[in-house]
Amino acid sequence: MSSSAAAPPAGAPEHNAPAALIFDCDGTIVDTMKMFYEVDRIAAERHGLKLTRKRFYELAGVPIMDIFALLGKEQGVETDVPAIMGSMAAAKEECTVPVTLIEPVAAVVREWHGRVPLAVASSGQKAAVLGHLGEHGMLQYFDAVVTVEDVPAGRGKPAPDLYLEAARRLGVDPSGCVAYEDADLGIESVKAAGMTPVDVRLMEGYPHDDYYAE
């Protein structure tokens, strides 16, 4: 299986339709990544950790609790992950980076709504994912929303569990699903689930950040 820029194509006939379309949320449907980088960086710094933009994007798709724990291990800093998570709330209040809809992906969601089952499979926390989808008028399109709370601890992306759970809830065979992702680890998760990946970073109009700027 290979990643592609836009599959299935808009207007594809029903006999060529996939069993379901499954979408990551952050960086795929909504452009939250710039905002999350600032929030995570501020929270990490307040607890003696350094989070570069490059490392943030390398770990895109990994649950945030695991990212903080990994940073502590890498940097030899004893971490109190619940305390850092608590600092994120204050950091988010301070953050002025806007969150916007990623229109090329939103167009795919609208095109296929009502034609095949649609789901979200996100490593994000449920309240945040539901909030961002709702605020941007996208929640109504999805038959299932699977988040990190819905799989066993330590089984976020790149493990296949989130995508497999989404397929289970939709009642479809994973091998017939097409999944949209913006992160390398997320694409690994899609492939591990036996699904066909679409790398949304290759789609025309995708809002690229300078991933490797420090």
Whose tokens are 């929303």? That residue is: 145
Asked if 40 is an active-site residue, the reply is no
- What does each C-alpha distance from 42 to 62, 125, 171 come to in angstroms? 18, 19, 41
Q: Name the β-bridge partners of 146.
A: 121
Of 164, 185, 147, the closest CA to residue 55 belongs to 185
Of 156, 109, 114, the closest CA to residue 133 belongs to 109
CB 174 within 8 A of CB 195: yes
Whose tokens are 């695991």? That residue is: 66
Which residue in 24, 31, 40, 182 is the catalytic one? 24
Catalytic residue set: 24
